[in-house]
Amino acid sequence: MGRANSCCWRSWLAVVLVHWCLCVGERNKVVVEASHVVYESLQSVPASVVDSKLKTGSVLVQMLSLILSFSCRLLHDATLMGVPSNAQPCLPDPNGPMYYNGLYHLFYQYNPYGSVWGNIVWAHSVSTDLINWVALEPAIYPSKPFDIKGCWSGSATILPGNKPVILYTGLDPSERQVQNIAYPKNLSDPYLREWVKPDFNPVIAPDDGVNGSAFRDPSTAWRGPGGHWKLVVGSKWNKMGKVILYRSRDFVRWVKAKHSLHSARDTGMWECPDFYPVALKGTRGLDTSVYGHGVKYVLKVSLDITRYEYYTVGKYYHDKDKYVPDATSADDHTGLRYDYGNFYASKTFFDGKKQRRILWGWANESDTSEVDIAKGWAGIQTIPRTIWLDSSGRQLVQWPIEEIESLRGKHVVVEHKRLPSGGFFEVKGIDSSQADVEVSFDVSGLEKAEDFDPSWATDAEALCGRKTADVKGGVGPFGLLVLASANMEEKTAVFFRVFKADHKHVVLMCHDPTRSSPRAGLYKPTFAGFVDVDIAKTGKISLRSLIDNSVVESFGAKGKTCITSRVYPSLAIGEDAHLFVFNNGSTDVKVPELNAWEMKKPLMNGA
């Protein structure tokens, strides 16, 4: 990873807008086994022109726009305030989200010098409502021997006495990945702008039994029944992914447990682990240290070798410090995912203000690093989601935070529409390049559903690639065409397709961006997941899609299956973007109700 060898951070305006100055010295390059590709020749290349046509603009996906400007100029939101010509951020993993003394804090991996990964610091923004944000100066940056070659991902924990701390991975001079602690310099500062890294760091270093180049991303800590603090760090041994458990009485001296909290063969490096309790009933979130009756646990890991995540639901045995997934949770790369699309390095936190657990995720670009350099920005944080355990106890459910609805503007409603085979209609009256769309479908004629091959059960993505939106089916494909051109030569399809298997029906949810742009060289993968619904019993299924210029986030069946895609239209931009509802199945589909809202832009960085 690249790093700034000497940095001078200087703030000169308090409360809402923060200026800072970065005096850049020598940048060293380090190559170790890591979660991101380091483009050594590109990581510090400034953009000559910043192209904002496809930059996201509504809610928190535009956290990418917390642009660092040099020469002690203001931090800018490129979408809302304009971008200085030499600012071109790369924004990867969300880190250390927390709610503290009336403010939401989000830290995130950030390259202030380039739009590819490298030169990473911990950027920092605050909000009162998760919608309107103020960018502060970076909280953590390479400056001491234990992180001089990189400040990588980590988590925040609130200690007794209402004292927040950060644990993060640093790269030391030997290129070992070590775990460090940082404290707010001044707890009376409501923005927690400055953070101190004690010289007794690292607090956790890899011992002889730990791969020092695969040892990163400490989790939020929890306090067990015996009073010990506990956390996990992602790692691997050969091809076995694992989360290594550590215990501490004082949060400074940590001791490795005799065994990992959990591991799984042939899954490779486990990055960005997250471990937390969920209530068996209701949507209420739980603090990470809650335990007892009526609670299950979730372990999520990000798989370095596949670049997606999976999670399991299971039981945590506090006395043995052992986590065991339920039999209904596949414990490998075929397992449940928060999001079946472009979504990685996620992090949750407990929101004590509203008693909920909130999920953040990173969606990377799908074009080339050279294009990222040309357009001058890269990477977004997805819209934060509330997350809870489904009533079945088998999986999680997600839904965009309720605050997103405050950005809804112009509203159109479509009711009681019938979609015959091959039919479609356009949703007019809003700018659909930035929109929130909720639609429900009445499904019948299930006897015409296509047969389901059992070999498809572990690879929904491949099935979607084989049966795209343009491939006619029995029941479906039906759904939305978003970011579409007027003649639909350019479109991104979000749809369902129903199959019949032995004694049940299988519902597939897909994102198909194969016709999202005619531009050559784009990565346009189909993404898909199966939806756990009894369509024969309900005869209905719902879909919500949030559209924001170059990102589409979709929630099927009230959040049981979620998919995020990055797309780069050439024609369907701004007012030239169209929204259609379509049915390419042989049976009719009814749309009892569709609601679509044009989305307003939030207040970002005080503007």
Catalytic residues: 93
Closest Cα to residue 334, out of 494, 183, 455, 167? Answer: 455
Burial class (CB in 10 A: 0-12, 13-18, 19+), 147: buried
CB 518, CB 529: distance < 8 Å = no
- Our measurement of the distance from residue 407's CA atom to the centroid of its chain's CA atoms, rounded to an integer in Å, reads 20
Supply the DSSP symbol for 384: P
Backbone angles phi, psi at 208, to 5 degrees: -65, -25
How many other C-beta atoms are found inside a 10 Å radius of the C-beta of residue 187? 14
Does a cis peptide bond (omega within 30 degrees of 0) precede residue 112? no
Residue 31 phi, psi (nearest 5): -120, 110
Give the Cα separation of 395 and 562 in Å (integer): 12
In angstroms, the CA 151 to CA 147 distance is 6
Strand-by-strand arrangement of the 434-443 sheet: 408-419, 589-599, 434-443, 540-548, 551-556, 561-566
Element (H, E) at 423: none
Alpha-carbon radius of gyration of the chain: 23
Distance, in Å, from the CA atom of 361 to the CA atom of 338, rounded to the nearest integer, reads 9
**Nearest residue to 241 (alpha-carbon basis) of 179, 331, 167, 152:** 331
